[in-house]
């Protein structure tokens, strides 16, 4: 559940309508410039109009690949959870999601029971291409570093936009580009400004003197969010999240690194956030667990909503800050900021 109705209302804003491109006006102007005899100019006029439309609806995705659409996408398939957050933040809904993203769907669209969206089978690593094709999408949004191999297979079917930002500034750029493709630039700008405002408000009051770690643990080794994980890099704007980089150079797999408890003790974080429910009890059995500063000071927290901490969008990051800041600096932030 969300912490308050004010936070929950973040998911119902930024609704808007797409702008209409005045192609008829452009055609009229071209005809006026050429004179009344347009029979010989029709091919050139058609080419000019087509070029104008394509250029208006074309962007470079995070991999540097040009993604072009011939019309405003209406049927968008999400192959990762951040896509759901992005679309929701600009007032859109996907037409289809991966099978295992039901919990995210419920969080963002408040659906219980039967899904309102078409399900794509397969896995996150290998989504079912036939399922995607059956949806007849106008655009597919997936993860850079995971879904790159789909581009060739989908080339003749649908444009593929890939992203996996490591920092909120890169996330905002992706939101803005998807806003361009969907003619929702105004809503994208509003979503970005809302997040920037929330982060700036926390930055203005944060002592910025606490070390935080975000971990998945199994009692022996811990998978720690690295500096490339967007939750860690966002918290690094208001605290210290100094955990090293994975051997995986790019993509989602670079956002976690395996640590032993001995390695964690070297940096001895002030606050620990556990991203897996009910994992705290297992870790308490470890003989070195009680040596951690955060354990001694009773500042180990299982996150209230693991879905939010693993969605990686502007709205989810705002909620991560709202949950983390009162725990990092309870005297400064007894409650989340509005």
Answer whether residue 70 is part of any domain: yes
Residues 127 and 218 in one domain: no
Report d(CA 322, CA 316) in Å as an integer: 10
Low-confidence ranges of the chain (pLDDT < 50): 1-39, 45-54
DSSP 8: H
- Give 194-237 pLDDT, tens digit per residue: 999 999 999 999 999 999 999 986 656 678 999 889 999 999 99
Residue 50 domain-assigned? yes
| Phi, psi of 266, deg, nearest 5 | -60, -40
Provide the CA 35 distance to its chain's centre, in angstroms. Answer: 50
Shared domain check, 223 and 178: no
Pairing mode of beta strands 96-98, 118-120:
parallel
Closest CA to 303 of 290, 286, 284, 316: 316
Return the pLDDT at 227: 86
What is the structure's pLDDT at 33? 41
pLDDT at 50: 46
- How many CB atoms are located within 10 Å of the residue 230 CB? 23
Q: Sort strands 76-78 and 256-260 into parallel, antiparallel or unpaired.
A: unpaired
Q: Which domain holds residue 186?
A: 5-198
Verify that 181 and 214 share a domain, yes or no: no
Do 163 and 210 reside in the same domain of the chain?
no
Question: Tokens 């803005």 — which residue?
Answer: 176
Same domain, yes or no: 146 and 213: no
Q: What is the CATH number of the domain that holds 147?
A: 3.40.50.1980
Pair 188, 212 in one domain: no
């Amino acid at each position: 559940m969300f912490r308050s109705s004010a936070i929950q209302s973040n998911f119902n804003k930024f609704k808007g309508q797409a702008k209409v491109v005045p192609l008829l006006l452009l055609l009229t102007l071209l005809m006026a410039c050429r004179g009344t005899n347009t029979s010989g100019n029709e091919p050139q006029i058609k080419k000019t109009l087509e070029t104008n439309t394509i250029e208006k609806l074309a962007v470079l995705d995070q991999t540097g690949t040009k993604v072009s659409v011939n019309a405003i996408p209406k049927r968008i398939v999400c192959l990762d959870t951040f896509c759901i957050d992005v679309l929701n933040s600009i007032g859109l809904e996907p037409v289809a999601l991966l099978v295992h993203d039901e919990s995210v769907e419920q969080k963002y669209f408040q659906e219980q029971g039967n899904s309102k969206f078409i399900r794509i089978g397969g896995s996150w690593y290998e989504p079912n291409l036939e399922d995607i094709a059956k949806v007849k999408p106008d655009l597919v949004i997936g993860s850079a570093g995971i879904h790159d191999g789909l581009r060739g297979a989908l080339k003749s079917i649908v444009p593929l936009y890939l992203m996996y930002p490591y920092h909120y500034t890169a996330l905002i750029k992706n939101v803005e580009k998807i806003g361009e493709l969907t003619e929702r630039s105004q809503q994208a700008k509003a979503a970005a400004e809302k997040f920037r405002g929330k982060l700036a408000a926390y930055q203005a009051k944060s002592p910025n003197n606490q070390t935080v770690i975000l971990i998945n643990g199994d009692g022996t080794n811990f998978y720690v969010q690295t500096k490339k994980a967007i939750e860690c890099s966002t918290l690094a704007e208001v605290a210290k999240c100094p955990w090293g980089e994975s051997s995986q150079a790019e993509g989602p797999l670079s956002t976690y690194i395996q640590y032993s408890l001995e390695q964690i003790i070297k940096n001895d974080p002030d606050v620990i956030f556990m991203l897996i429910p009910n994992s705290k009890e297992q870790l308490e059995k470890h003989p070195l667990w009680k040596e951690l500063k955060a354990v001694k000071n009773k500042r180990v927290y299982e996150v209230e909503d693991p879905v939010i901490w693993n969605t990686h969008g502007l709205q989810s990051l705002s909620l991560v800050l709202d949950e983390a800041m009162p725990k990092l600096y309870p005297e400064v932030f007894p409650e989340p900021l509005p």
